[in-house]
Structure 1
Amino acid sequence: MYPGSVSASPTLTTRTGHLRRTGDALAHATSADAWRGALEVRAADATVAPALRVGIAAALTLVAGGLLGQPALAGIAALGALTAAFARHEPFPRLAVKLTVVAVSLVSFVALGAVVGATGVTTGWQIALLSAAAGIASLVLGAFRITGPGAVIFVFAAMAAVGYASTTADLTAVTLAVLAGALAGWTIALAPAAFLPMGAARLATARALAAVAGLDGPGPRDPRAVRGALAHAREVVAVSARGGHRTAHAQAALCVPTR
């Protein structure tokens, strides 16, 4: 080192680097482009349609309960209608099976909650029983790879039944209410299959193509994520397709051998 020269200490250099990265992060978080991109709804996002289906299912149950003069049961039925919030973007054949699992689980939780409420189980046992049931529900959702709000919806529904049910007649009423709501949610969620049977396949394909196009973009490249998107699209196309003709065309578009 030459006389009189001063070298920057490692600590000072590290702090300067941290400050620079912090400044860059704050600039990105407050930039108009970042907020515009975060709030943009793209064609391949498909976030509006699932939300509308959940809203329609809940509205139907609430209106029906109000017309029947049962506002409390209408709220419990609306929890059953949240069946439509699970397993979104799945191909319809698979969606039907997964939503059936969700509906059966919701009805079972409400029946359990009604039994707990009607029999006057103490608060400690209520917590223990519902906690154990929530763990089982989480295990079931994970085993069937069911995405969505999670087991917390089942716990909410069970606690609503605990608060409502005080007699055996109440047990029957809340169970039928959540069953009606679950059927409404199941039906509304699967209704698009009648006129858009390949909807999930089209969405998965659009996302895969967007991922491939992103390899040429200015952002970071992740070939592994692109391969995952393509594999997912191939799987969804195979499950969704009803006829060999459409399957062959979809596989050709994704560069998948038909044999």
Structure 2
Amino acid sequence: MLFILLSPKKGHAQEKEIIRSNQQWFRYWNKTQFDKNWSLKSDFGIRYQERFSKKNKYIARTRLIYSWKENLELSAGFAHLGSYQGKEIAIIESRPFQEISHSHQTGIAKLKQRLSIEERSFKIKNTDNSYRTPLSFRFRYRFMVNIPLLSFPSNNQALSLQAGDEIFIKSTPETSSTPFDQNRLILGPSLQVNDNVKLDFIYMYQYASTPIENIYKQSNIFRMSIKHYINL
């Protein structure tokens, strides 16, 4: 699917332009478990680009999760994002979303799939300080593998490796060049510090489309996450 979406039409291959960048993402992630069926998951993050020289985006997101079965979860939530242009916020996004995720243990590896639907509303500042609010839908599919590397049962510490891919498909008007939004390749270690805290150090290779036909963005992203688990 990714190959088909990224393949340019014949005669236009030489016109493709790639804009390259690097980004640094930091986030705090929390999961609060109320009982065996219900939990609340939230995360708050700030994203920089060009080696911390510029702010790129902030994000605050939360979702209510219902564990339908032991390995199947349904969730619904809301995200609020702000994108910077220079030192000012130029775009504000409101993003309700719904998800279904399935996990499966095979041997020592844990496999997890997630399908998301997002309803995105943008408040975009124009040059004359007026605002426009376009709406769009986006579909996301992520496949992840978690492989344990080291375990220290005496102090509840463990080290594992995460790898996966996530593709984003957007709803577009007929005049848009492609429904492809972006794709992320994901790789990095995860350190279980104790029963309640985990640290993730992730590298992501992101390839994304832009509103301009045949212009794409290629980003090398480092993401550090502090994951905090609370069991009530």
With structure 2 as the length reference, what TM-score do the two structures score?
0.22
Greater relative contact order structure (CA < 8 Å, 6+ sep): 1
Which of the two has higher C-alpha Rg?
A: 1
Q: Which has the larger share of strand? A: 2
Q: Which has the larger share of helix? A: 1
With structure 1 as the length reference, what TM-score do the two structures score?
0.20
